[in-house]
Structure 1
Amino acid sequence: MQFDDDARLDTSGVKDLRGRRIPGGRATVGGGIAGILALVIGLLFGVGPDQLGLTGEPEPGAGAATVGEVQRSCLTGRDANTREDCRTAAVVRSAQDFWGQEFARRSGRYSPASTVLFTGRVDSACGSATAAVGPFYCPADRQVYLDMDFFDDLRTRLGATGGPFAQAYVVAHEYGHHVQNLTGTLRRAEDGRQGAGSNAVRTELQADCYAGVWARNAVRTPDSATGRPLLRAVTGQDIAEALDAAAAVGDDRIQARYEGRVNPESWTHGSARERQQWFSEGYRTGDMARCDTFR
């Protein structure tokens, strides 16, 4: 993936809380297998950690906006081409631009979401969570929460090959949940059911499809500041990285890796094949209307 070197990077959609110490409280998710299983439950899920049963005691003020490293160092598209955190900020900007324009095209109104970068532990309107929960979207405050160390976990603990577009897929998936929240479909996952045909799985697969829709359209979505697309190129290798990451977080792949068996009745995200299939459908068509996983 290649961003416009000369574009000025708008980082207003990112709250950088990395390195900020959250006093008090206790981590409710341990390391090792316990941490992995918590990550399996929470990974790329559409609800906050309070609904996952992984909350700790909330710490007041932890979600307040601050000027962090992203705001100081991520100034242009060139920075996004050379730094992981700047790349994340650029994907956020690109996703916001695309969905804002797509909602307007469909006579809707898009409300922006922020991405919160954190280290170790974070508080949200959905509760307090450790990094072991994995990336999540909180519908209560309409924010995406992401510990950048997760991308290392994606490779070392979940077996993905990694790469820049694997990271872009994760961010775009979470913004897919924001789109679901705005359109009302995210509520379908709140029935508490699990299993291969559950609404929880269908919600995750739709977010994968929306990530593919963004990937198809990003290279022709004009940046709100420059009028030129912020993302200049998406290659076959980029899509291969996204598909590899989608497979790595399939329920069957994770269960086989860490439990030694596959149990579709406990799925919450869908199989590796399904996750690849729905990202591919979004990327092939570029049309959010083709992402009806509930039909």
Structure 2
Amino acid sequence: MRWRGNRQSSNVEDRSGRSTGKIATGGGLGVVVIALIVFFISGGDLGAVTDTLGGNSTPTTYQTTPTTTKDYTEQKEFASVVFAHLEDYWNTEFKESNEPYQNPKLVLFTDSVNSACGPATSQVGPFYCPADQNVYLDLSFADELSTKYGATGDYAMAYVIAHEVGHHVQNELGISDQVDKIRNRVSTTEYNQYSVRLELQADYLAGCFTKYLAGKSYQGQPILETGDVEEALTAANAIGDDTLQKEYQGYVVPDSFTHGTSQQRINWFKRGYQYGDLEHGNTFNEQNLDLAS
């Protein structure tokens, strides 16, 4: 992805580095432990922490010494550029639909962070918190994608960020609220199916964003480079529920899936890349069951 020199988002808060204050205790240690369990069992790297942590804690003002190494600075600039492109894309889409849209914020942190959804560690991976409309990201996840999941290349990380912003779009459209209201009316197994469809829709939206970038250029050069789409697909494949469960526990439990199989994630990202609109992204439509299987 050609990103150097592109506009960087101003909606980025850097909480990286060692905190010089105390992390607020909202959900308590037990909440963090539960979040870690979700991560290892269901691949919670893409939003599961939002489902696990609730929204009863009070955000804390962090006093940190931001990381300033060359590698970190470059990763931060990259994430800021991707976030800026996402702002441009979704503001345009919502404006054309005559719908209001509020930009989310990207919060960068190291090791642990406190959000309006509760405290979390970097082990739960990137996540979106609807209570404060922030995307939380420890930039070390880029290295984890490469070394642990074999998803190399900068666009693998761009896909992750786009997926999390996809959750913000769902929140703006009221989709997240609709799914959340179902939680207490159905069994855990049934609710997992709704969760899967929510996650697959976020993959679809990441595909839409990628199609948008494919038509953009900077200084006469296309922003997307050869292999970028494949990098996103490799990442989607690596973090499917079935793939992660096989890796961590040696067998697959479909009823416990919360994010979708590797093939489902690939299918919906491809669909988003094909159509690039909201009309074809209804993962909750029964007619789309073939794509969600």
Structure with the higher fraction of residues in helix conformation: 2
1:203 maps to which of 193, 198, 202: 198
- 2: CA distance, partners of 1:53 / 1:102: 30
**TM-score, scaled relative to structure 2:** 0.81
Aligned to 1:153: 144
Q: Secondary structure at the match of 1:173?
A: helix
Distance 1:126 1:290, change over 3 A: same
RMSD: 3.3
Distance 1:67 1:18, change over 3 A: closer
- 2: CA distance, partners of 1:231 / 1:203: 34
Distance 1:98 1:125, change over 3 A: same
Aligned to 2:79: 88
Distance 1:122 1:99, change over 3 A: same
- 2: CA distance, partners of 1:284 / 1:130: 35
1:19 maps to which of 1, 17, 39: 17
AA of the residue aligned to 1:254: L
Instruction: Compute the displacement of 1:284 (Å).
Output: 1.1
Distance 1:183 1:47, change over 3 A: farther
C-alpha contact (below 8 Å) 2:128/2:168 kept by paired residues: yes
Q: 1:171-201, CA deviations, whole angstroms, 9 ceiling, x for partnerless residues?
A: 0000100000000111244234446971100
Instruction: Compute the displacement of 1:117 (Å).
Output: 0.3
Aligned to 1:115: 106
Tell me, which stretches of 5 or more residues in structure 1 are unaligned?
Answer: 74-78, 223-227
Distance 1:202 1:89, change over 3 A: same
- 1: CA distance, partners of 2:174 / 2:219: 29
- 2: CA distance, partners of 1:231 / 1:18: 33
Distance 1:180 1:132, change over 3 A: same
Q: 1:39-63, CA deviations, whole angstroms, 9 ceiling, x for partnerless residues?
A: 5453212662xx415999867323x
Identity of aligned residues (%): 37
- 1: CA distance, partners of 2:274 / 2:243: 24
AA of the residue aligned to 1:214: F
Instruction: Compute the displacement of 1:67 (Å).
Output: 9.6
Q: Secondary structure at the match of 1:198?
A: helix
C-alpha contact (below 8 Å) 1:196/1:270 kept by paired residues: no
Q: Find out whether 1:137 has 2:128 as its counterpart.
A: yes
Tell me, which stretches of 5 or more residues in structure 2 are unaligned?
Answer: 286-293
Q: 1:12-66, CA deviations, whole angstroms, 9 ceiling, x for partnerless residues?
A: 1111110041525686657xxx957535453212662xx415999867323x8x8
Q: 1:195-229, CA deviations, whole angstroms, 9 ceiling, x for partnerless residues?
A: 6971100000000000000010124469xxxxx69
Distance 1:162 1:250, change over 3 A: same
C-alpha contact (below 8 Å) 2:43/2:239 kept by paired residues: no
Distance 1:214 1:274, change over 3 A: same
Distance 1:109 1:53, change over 3 A: closer
AA of the residue aligned to 1:270: G
Aligned to 2:152: 162
Instruction: Compute the displacement of 1:69 (Å).
Output: 6.0
C-alpha contact (below 8 Å) 2:16/2:65 kept by paired residues: no
Q: 1:217-249, CA deviations, whole angstroms, 9 ceiling, x for partnerless residues?
A: 124469xxxxx6999321341000000000111
Aligned to 2:289: none
Q: 1:96-115, CA deviations, whole angstroms, 9 ceiling, x for partnerless residues?
A: 11000110011112110000
